[in-house]
Amino acid sequence: MDLLFDPLFRLPFVAGLMAAIVVAITGLYLRLRAEWLAALGFAHLAGAGGVVGVIIGAPPLAAALGASVIAVLVKGALQRSGNDVYAWLILFGWAAMLIGATFTHHAKILGDALVDGQLYFAASAELWATLSIAAATAIALPLLSRSLLRSELFPGHDRTNGRPLWPVTVGFDLLAAVAIAVAALVMGVMAAFALVFIPAWIAFALAGSWRLAVLWSGLIAAALYTVSYVTALLADLPFAPVLVAIAAAAAPLRLLSKRLGPRPAS
């Protein structure tokens, strides 16, 4: 555990930990909305944006965030919900990311990092990005949460009472897109997806209330991330495959739901 406090590894550890907790909690809301595939869609598109940014000489993080914001605006213009929109984002993003990575050496390095999840190369820009999105999530999500839950549990309630729902859905989509984009650049595309999908999948079964589900998601993500970070560091392995493997191995935790009570209503 001393490695976590080494100056060389402390910065990437904190950056990844913040990203892991944020995307796990965001994933809980995506699962509630049956849009968990958004994690892969936004992550692939962010990866493509980062690669294109390298090619044109723009900062990869800014380009990735820009691509994610464009995706949210397109989704809002289409007025579509569900996973089919995100399936198209995955296809376009994956193709653009891999094709773009062939153009320059630096683009290839970024493309490989997005696949392997080379978290140890995270710098101060990534740290500040994760801290910023964590702060934004802590402020915005409690304000959006009630409306998001109401829209799923009582469809049409806000519309019937004259309250437009689109500012809430677009606001959450933007928050999710930015969080997933940052996580994808920091720890890799599949690692970001695993942290969006698996902690929420387990928490949905374990928790008996929504607040407990949020707590469970954050704690599970933090635990999976820390174990994976230390394991990959000690074994000299790429971070993303180690995290995905350990997260998948934690799936039996969902079986504890029979003892701990029912999942939150959805």
- 49: in domain: yes
How far is it, in rounded angstroms, from Cα 131 to Cα 236? 27
Burial of 107 (0-12, 13-18, 19+ CB in 10 A): buried
Q: Is the residue at 266 inside a domain?
A: no
Lowest mean pLDDT across 89-93, 162-166, 202-206 = 162-166
Quote the DSSP letter at residue 52.
H
pLDDT at 160: 47
> What pLDDT was estimated at residue 265?
47
Q: Look up residue 252 and give its two tokens.
A: 């039996």
Residue 199 pLDDT: 92
Residues 207-215: what's their mean pLDDT? 85
pLDDT attached to residue 81: 61
Position 5 scores a pLDDT of 63
Predicted confidence (pLDDT) at residue 48 exceeds the cutoff of 60: yes
Residue 156 has pLDDT above 80, yes or no: no
Looking up residue 11, the CATH number of its domain turns out to be 1.10.3470.10
Residue 254 lies in a domain: yes
Q: Does 100 map to a domain?
A: yes
- In tens, the pLDDT along 92-151 reads 888 888 888 888 877 777 777 777 766 666 777 778 888 888 898 888 888 887 777 777
Q: Kindly state the DSSP code that residue 95 receives in the 8-state scheme.
A: H
Q: Which of 35-39, 43-47, 74-78 has the lowest mean pLDDT?
A: 74-78
Domain assignment present for residue 265? The answer is no
Q: Which residue from 160, 158, 187 is spatially nearest to 46, judged by alpha carbons?
A: 187
pTM summary value: 0.79
Specify the number of domains making up the chain.
1
Residue 108 domain-assigned (yes or no)? yes
* Domain assignment of residue 22, given as a range: 2-260
| Residue 251: predicted pLDDT | 84
Find the largest Cα–Cα distance for the chain: 57
193 burial (CB, 10 Å; 0-12 / 13-18 / 19+) is buried
Residue 30 has pLDDT above 80, yes or no: yes
The pLDDT value recorded for residue 162 is 47
Instruction: Record the tokens describing residue 240, joined without a space.
Output: 């993303």
- The CA distance from 76 to 62, in Å, is 21
